[in-house]
Homo-oligomer: A and B are copies of this chain.
Amino acid sequence: MSANVPTDIVFSFTGLAERGGVTGPHIDGWGITFYEGKGSRTFKDARPSSESHIAKLIKSYPIKSEVVVSHIRQANRGCVSLENTHPFTRELWGQYWTYAHNGQLSGYEAKFVPTRFNAVGDTDSEMAFCWIMDKVVAQFGDKAPDDMLAVYRFIATLADEIRALGVFNMILSDGEHLMSYCSNNLCYITRCAPFGKAKLIDTDVVIDFDTETTPNDVVTVIATRPLTKNEQWNVLAPGEWKLFKKGELLIG
């Protein structure tokens, strides 16, 4: 999620969490990162989101945030464990960078040789993230460049390379920008006035955004598959990527 005002994600997360054991097979852990200003906090659990005690808290306790990254995992590379649970976070240039990956890669070991950023777990996902971060430092150095869009354009070329190794649907944020890169499954919706009602696909919940928002709110939600059944989601093509800031599309 990317929004221009601190917004809670309770509605969307309630739908997503069902896919971790009820309406979907992603039972191998889940996580969610909330940015609040420059700070961030990540809740994660190696248990299925549909039955996690901590997920229950997230579904019932609205945390208002301008950028949220969440992931539910179906393990392929790497065992079910906390260190293999997305999202992953690293600090670079005085910002926390948060990343989640959907998909599976092959033949990546020779490519993802770490220099500065090392994977803690043993997933292809985290290794790809660390490789991206290493490449960004190699390209731009130890200080953030003035043109952050150039950084994301560069990351898109890295994502193209990774996509050649398999399926690489990715979400990446520095807390200000939110990048989504599509390999085969990614879609988004931008909600703004006039707001209407939305109905989750995965559980019987309806929200009337008109009563939850102000007329100036702009909120974009990105997901591998649409979360609501009565709204039109924009589907990304393979290799397509989008960059959002404060809910608005910056590149894409």
Contacts and interface: CB of A to CB of B under 8 A. Distances in A.
Interface of A: 36-46, 53-54, 57, 61, 81-85, 90-96, 114-121, 142
Contacts of A92: 118
B118 A82 contact: no
A43 B43 contact: yes
Contacts of A93: 118
A121 B83 contact: no
Contact of A43 (B41, B53, B115, B142): B41
A91 B114 CA distance: 13
A122 to B, nearest CB: 9
16 contacts: A36-B46, A36-B81, A38-B120, A38-B121, A39-B46, A39-B83, A39-B121, A40-B82, A41-B42, A41-B44, A41-B82, A54-B57, A91-B118, A94-B118, A115-B142, A116-B142
Contacts of A39: 46, 81-85, 120-121
Given A38-B81, A40-B82, A53-B57, 13 more contacts: A36-B46, A36-B81, A37-B82, A38-B83, A38-B120, A38-B121, A39-B81, A39-B120, A39-B121, A54-B61, A57-B57, A92-B118, A96-B120
